[in-house]
């Protein structure tokens, strides 16, 4: 795996897939089944603390060892991201430069005729 950022993403995916909060050790074992061979526990801890700082995961300190769980479901983040990206989020979408806005079916049909696409 090329970067810490990608490791964070894989770790978060594992936490989303897990049925219950995971300890760093459990997370390392889950990551080791994929292409993450020989991952040090300290690296997993670093990744988890970075994810916690970014607000993606929460740590439960009442148990020992502490466990980590995602703050929100994956679907919620996807919905937020798509809301921005598809231009439904008015003001926030202005922060992005999108390739095209959306046209209605009628207008698209007219444009397709213009291009001879049928």
Partner 1 sequence: MILAASLLAVLAVLLAWPVPLAVARSTWPDRAPGTALLLWQAIALAGVLSLLGSLLVAGLAPYGPHPIAALRVLTSDVGHGEIPPATSYASALALAAAVLLGVHLVLNLVATVIRTERQRARHRSLLLMLSAPMPEAPRTRLLDATAPIAYCLPGTARSLTVLSAGLLDLLTEQEVLGVVEHERAHLRQHHALVLVAFRAWRIALPWFPVARRAQHAVGLLTEMLADDQARRSVPDPVLARAIVVTSGGTGGEPVEDGPASDPVSVERRVRRLVSPAPIPAGVRIAVPVAALALVVVPPLLLALPAFAG
Give me the residues paired with residue 67 across strands: 60
State how far the Cα of 98 lies from the Cα of 48, in Å rounded to an integer. Answer: 32
In angstroms, rounded to a whole number, what is the distance separating the alpha carbons of residues 84 and 90? Answer: 8
Residue 17 or 80 having the CB closest to partner 1: 80
Q: Which is nearer to partner 1, 62 or 114 (CB)?
A: 114
Least spacing, CB of residue 60 vs partner 1, in Å: 21
Tokens of 78: 């996807």
Write the CA distances from 6 to 33, 47, 98, integer angstroms. Answer: 16, 10, 25
Kindly list the residues in this chain that would bind partner 1 in the complex (CB under 8 A).
2, 5-6, 8-9, 12, 54, 56, 74, 77-78, 80-90, 92-105, 107-108, 110-112, 114-115, 117
Q: DSSP assignment of 20-57, as one string? A: S-B-HHHHHHHHHHTT-TT--HHHHHHHHHHHHHTTSE
Least CB distance to partner 1 at residue 13 (A): 8
Shortest distance, CB of residue 62 to partner 1, whole angstroms?
Answer: 26
Report in angstroms how near the CB of residue 24 gets to partner 1 at its nearest.
19
Nearer to partner 1, 63 or 88 (CB): 88
Q: Which is nearer to partner 1, 20 or 100 (CB)?
A: 100
């Amino acid at each position: 795996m090329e970067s810490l950022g990608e490791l964070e993403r894989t770790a978060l995916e594992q936490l989303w897939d897990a049925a219950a909060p995971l300890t760093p050790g459990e997370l390392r074992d889950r990551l080791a089944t994929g292409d993450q061979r020989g991952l040090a526990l300290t690296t997993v801890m670093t990744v988890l603390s970075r994810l916690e700082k970014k607000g993606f995961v929460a740590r439960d300190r009442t148990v020992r060892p502490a466990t980590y769980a995602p703050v929100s479901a994956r679907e919620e983040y996807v919905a937020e991201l798509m809301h921005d990206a598809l231009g439904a989020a008015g003001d926030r979408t202005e922060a992005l430069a999108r390739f095209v806005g959306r046209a209605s079916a009628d207008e698209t049909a007219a444009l397709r005729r213009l291009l001879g696409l049928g």
